[in-house]
Structure 1
Amino acid sequence: MSEFTPPRVAALGHQLIEIHQHLRSLLDDIARLPDFSRELRAHCLAFCGALDRHHTGEERGMFQVLAERHPGLRAILAELRHDHEQIAALIRRVEADPTRAELAGLAAVMESHFTFEEKRLTSVLNELTP
């Protein structure tokens, strides 16, 4: 590490869990908003954008590094990419019509995806060195 490289505050796997927890919290906040309100729509759009940026960042960064350093994870990464495609389709549906049913569907798929990703990648990410 050079003198200009800041030390990592938390292991990467734990950072991933923190990001997921933040996204879960945002979704919980949305669930408390009144149906068909401007506030609900605005929060849904903001949340969907944040979730999409998170997954785009994973694919452009973390997944590429993991595929290079841990070829045995490529099948898992492919499954996670497939999840991202499904979630992106759900995001488009929520953005078009932010109903409780659409949000519940997105929440269920997102939770399953996050849990799988955390179980499969946290320890590997925690061992990565910069």
Structure 2
Amino acid sequence: MPTSFDEQVIEEFRANEGRVGGPFEGGDLLLLTTTGARSGTERTTPLGYVRHGDALLLVGSNLGGPHHPAWYHDLLAHPVVRVEVGTRTFQALAVPAEGARRDELFAHAVRQAPGYGDYQARTTRTLPVVVLERAEPDGWEPRPVVTLADKLMEVHTWLRGQLRQVRAEADAHFAARAAHQGPGEPPAPGLGLQIRQRCLAFCQALEFHHVSEDDHLFPGIARHHPRLTATFDRLREEHRTIARVQGELAALLDGIGIADPQRFRTELDAMSKELNAHLDYEEETILPLLADVPWPPVPPARPAEATG
């Protein structure tokens, strides 16, 4: 049995294809699942949203309270979120809007749902506006996955695409800064957090991928191919090298708005070079061993029941 108001709303939402009654009846409601900034555990929150073209906007109103809601702090720490709208569930990249873009989007939200203006009037903090964007990099097209080799290539292709997009967004950000003349905010506001969120999502996905390989994939293959021990040792060492460069890049992102363009690009180039060489080597040595392993894994056959 649900024990809180949110749990009741979530249960009703999922049981009725996204439709609920009570204070949310007739409104645009979604379920946002975030990863706790400190706990690392998932939590689901029902939230009103506003459409802006193809994008979905969330406003961190917290009913006009003095502090940002917990889900906002969560998505700053873990940018990839799960979204449920109606009967559809998908992953999204949560990017808080900045500067003039935030003001424009907030004005749009207030036109669609005037209550947000009332919440802003109750507090001195600026209500954040979060844009839910595609989690996949530009140009991403899913391909059939029938073997473990296919699955590994899917992950590698996603990582390479994310890295290319981070670089493109960083170049656009620094170009706008260089072209800006005079006081005030440079054109193309919002790219600072855009880059931070996408790069953080990339780094977290890469870390999860490497931990999964080190703890599960590599030991499983090594049991059947002991001659590859040196190969796996090299791959693990490369994981540690990439993690170090990744950590340095993440530290730079905290100050992307004032980061030195040349230093940022140098770190990003170092990470790109290390990562692509690592992925190339892994594909050369590991993919042939996985080409005949079905994905998803085939469950073991159940023993036949004895007949009398």
TM norm structure 1: 0.87
> Does 2:292 correspond to 1:127?
yes
Stretches of structure 1 that go unaligned for 5 or more consecutive residues are 1-8
Q: Kindly report which structure 2 residues correspond to 1:83-122, keeping only aligned pairs within 5 A, or say none.
A: 83-98=238-253, 99-122=264-287
> Following the alignment from structure 1 to structure 2, what is the Cα–Cα distance between the partners of residues 66 and 128?
11
Q: How far has the Cα of 1:106 moved from its partner?
A: 0.5
Q: How far has the Cα of 1:61 moved from its partner?
A: 0.9
> Does 2:211 correspond to 1:56?
yes
Q: Kindly report which structure 2 residues correspond to 1:7-26, keeping only aligned pairs within 5 A, or say none.
A: 9-26=145-162
Letter in 1 for 2:151: Q
Question: As a proportion of its length, which structure holds more helix?
Answer: 1
* Residue deviations 1:64-89 (CA, integer Å, cap 9, x gap): 10111111111100000000010110
* Structure 1 counterpart of 2:32: none
* Residue deviations 1:43-71 (CA, integer Å, cap 9, x gap): 11111111111101111110010111111
* Structure 2 counterpart of 1:4: none
> Following the alignment from structure 2 to structure 1, what is the Cα–Cα distance between the partners of residues 194 and 150?
31
Does the C-alpha gap of structure 1 residues 104 and 45 become closer, same or farther in structure 2, counting only changes over 3 Å?
A: same
Q: How far has the Cα of 1:104 moved from its partner?
A: 1.1
> Following the alignment from structure 1 to structure 2, what is the Cα–Cα distance between the partners of residues 67 and 104?
32
* Structure 2 counterpart of 1:72: 227
> Following the alignment from structure 1 to structure 2, what is the Cα–Cα distance between the partners of residues 126 and 74?
20
Q: Provide runs of 4+ in structure 1 moved above 3 Å.
A: 127-130
Q: How far has the Cα of 1:127 moved from its partner?
A: 3.2
Stretches of structure 2 that go unaligned for 5 or more consecutive residues are 1-144, 175-190, 254-263, 298-308
* Structure 2 counterpart of 1:6: none
SS in 1 for 2:291: helix
Letter in 2 for 1:28: R
> Following the alignment from structure 2 to structure 1, what is the Cα–Cα distance between the partners of residues 226 and 238?
19
Question: As a proportion of its length, which structure holds more strand?
Answer: 2
TM norm structure 2: 0.38
Larger RCO: 1 or 2 (CA < 8 Å, sep 6+): 1
- 2:195 equivalent among 40, 43, 55: 40
